Structure 1
Amino acid sequence: MADYAIVHANTPERAAEYTALFTNLVGKAPAYVMGISSIIAMNAGSGCVAIAIQLEEEN
């Protein structure tokens, strides 16, 4: 895994829990943790947390 990021909709506490969990699991802190736009939050729901993983390209 190259990098990962954690985004949240008005729930920094849950994002912090995910950050601690994933940092422990993979041994690497996320590239960033940030709030997402209200448009995404409106569709996914306030309080949601998402993790995006960027894999390294294999040659």
Structure 2
Amino acid sequence: MYDTLSDALKERGGSPAQRARAQDNADAAFSVLDMWLRSGGELPAPWRPRPNPGGGGER
């Protein structure tokens, strides 16, 4: 889901119609990811906290 959203956000169009379609695709992909997260789905890997190997506490 994250990759689909990321790809949709990268879409560019030459014409206004292509740009509108790219925006609609990104909006739809975001909605799917939003529903996943709101239903208790796990965060996408790029958004997960990284472990602190030094154990120095959180900032």
Would the TM-score normalized by the shorter structure come out above 0.5?
no
Q: Give the TM-score of the pair, scaled to structure 1.
A: 0.32
In terms of Rg, which structure is larger? 2
Q: Give the TM-score of the pair, scaled to structure 2.
A: 0.32
More helix by percentage: 2
More strand by percentage: 1
